[in-house]
Copies of this chain bind each other. A is one copy, B any other.
Amino acid sequence: MKIAILGFGTVGSGAYEAAKSAPGIEVKRIVDLRDFPDYRDILTKDINDVLDDDEIELVAECMGGVHPAYEFVTGAMRRGKHVVTPNKNLVSACYDELMACAAENGVEFRFTPAAGGGIPWLYNLMRSRRCDEILEVHGIVNGTCNYILDNMHTNGADFAAVLAEAQALGYAERDPSADIDGHDTLRKCVISSNIAFDARLREEDIPTFGIRSITAEDVAWCNANGYTCKLLMNAGLAGDALYAYVEPELFTADALESGVKANFNLITLTGVNVGPLSFYGQGAGMMPTGTSLVQDMIDIAAGIGFAPADGGTAHTLDNTKVAHRYYFRGSDLSGLPASVIAEQFARGSDTVVLTAPISVTAAHQFAADCAARGIDFFMAGINE
């Protein structure tokens, strides 16, 4: 099968390398506005060199971002070309349109590396659903945040110092907002939930709290109390509704999540039949992600796949039905009702509160109120 790679950055070049050991996959074109002297024989700046080439049966979109990736991907599908992509921004923002476009044009659209990078998480989630009901999904899906948190736990370092180190090592972007504010985790939550529950969740509906405001003192408290802090995506069935949220969570030492080091990911589904099933590995990186993308290509070439959800279901999102204890720390927690305070103490000019079990809705609303009032605030769910 002749393919084209759009975007020759980290993942695009990883896919190119991995495709070398995939019999039957031949990279005919690379589309990139930059020059790569070693690849000039197949390099072009013009997307039409791919769209107009009937020999190219599959397009691997590795540019990132929503536009013009969306236009290129849908353009390729309308020309009868299959599409694979690791682009979580695109898949999360345009899930419904892309699934519909693939179905209308009778082509395959695969995006296994869009959540989990090198981990075949989405692939196995789809496979599991064939004879099991998924009750919930959760996981550590952002390697940058895990690297930062792991280093803070191990070295006692400040958030800013570890972030700067991660940026120097290339583990974090120059603008780290998508990672540390939880937006990347949110996108993987949307994609995973849509597959697990036939849902059509929208990013803007899912409460998301990142790790930007965590301090060395917060981590020291975790260490002293036997907790490890991780950034988690969570989604699951709650009666007729779904819950879905992104927040830091505190795990006890014997939780599998506590053993996830450096920039690794760990993602779990719970099925009625199979129980908990977890997948661990490299959630990003040139060769892991590129290889996962090529695995999707091989599946398409071999006719291996799982029927996608049939149009999806408009689930109600209801985070009032999930409740747990929280760690709150802020310069002013006076807005908190006394009834939810299980334990409270001062730390310098800050207040720390361990809450009674409260709903995710209530906790994230309180966080939003703090943000609106300009209060320095950090929170983490307590996993028990």
**Residues of the B chain whose Cβ atoms lie less than 8 Å from the Cβ of A19:** 131
**Shortest distance from the beta carbon of A371 to any chain B beta carbon, whole Å:** 34
Point out the residue from B123, B258, B271, B292 that lies within 8 Å of A259, measured CB to CB. B258
The answer to whether B282 touches A275 (Cβ under 8 A) is yes
In the complex, which of the residues B22, B277, B292 contacts A281, with contact meaning CB atoms closer than 8 Å?
Answer: B277
A274 touches B282 (CB 8 A): yes
Residue of B nearest to A275 (CB): B282
- In angstroms, how far is the closest chain B Cβ from the Cβ of A299? 8
The answer, yes or no, to whether A337 is at the interface (CB within 8 Å) is no
Is the CB of A132 closer than 8 A to any CB of chain B? yes
In the complex, whether A159 has a CB less than 8 A from a CB of chain B is: no
Q: Is residue A339 contacting chain B, with contact meaning CB distance below 8 A?
A: no
Contact: A295 with B259, CB < 8 Å?
no
Q: Is the Cβ of A18 less than 8 Å from the Cβ of B273?
A: yes
B282 touches A280 (CB 8 A): no
Partner of A275, one of B124, B128, B288: B288
Q: Flag whether A40 is at the interface (Cβ < 8 A).
A: no
Is there a chain B Cβ closer than 8 Å to A303's Cβ? yes
Chain B residue at minimum C-beta to C-beta distance from A272: B287
Minimum Cβ distance to chain B for residue A249 (Å) = 15
Give the complex CA separation of A295 and B272 in angstroms.
14
Contact of A303 among B260, B298, B303 (CB under 8 A): B303
Q: Is A62 an interface residue (CB 8 A)?
A: no
Cα-based distance from A259 to B252 in the complex (angstroms): 10
Q: When the two chains form their complex, are residues B130 and A298 in contact, meaning their CB atoms are under 8 A apart?
A: yes
Given known contacts A259-B255, A260-B256, A277 and B274 CB-to-CB distance under 8 angstroms: no
A12 in contact (CB, < 8 A): no
Cβ of A253 within 8 Å of any chain B Cβ, yes or no, is yes
Residue in B closest to A228 when the chains form the complex, CB atoms: B254
**In the complex, which residues 1-56 of chain A have their Cβ closer than 8 Å to any Cβ of chain B?**
18-19, 21-22
CB contacts under 8 Å to B, within A111-130, are 118-120, 123-124, 127-128, 130
Once A120-B127, A131-B22, A132-B291 are accepted as A-B contacts, the answer to whether A280 and B278 lie under 8 Å apart by CB is: yes
Measuring CB to CB, which residues of chain A are less than 8 angstroms from any residue of chain B?
18-19, 21-22, 118-120, 123-124, 127-128, 130-133, 253-256, 258-261, 268, 271-282, 285, 287-288, 290-292, 294-295, 298, 303-305
Other than A120-B277, A274-B287, A279-B279, give 16 A-B pairs with Cβ distance below 8 A.
A118-B277, A120-B124, A123-B127, A130-B295, A258-B259, A268-B280, A271-B291, A274-B282, A274-B292, A275-B285, A277-B279, A278-B278, A279-B280, A280-B280, A304-B304, A304-B305
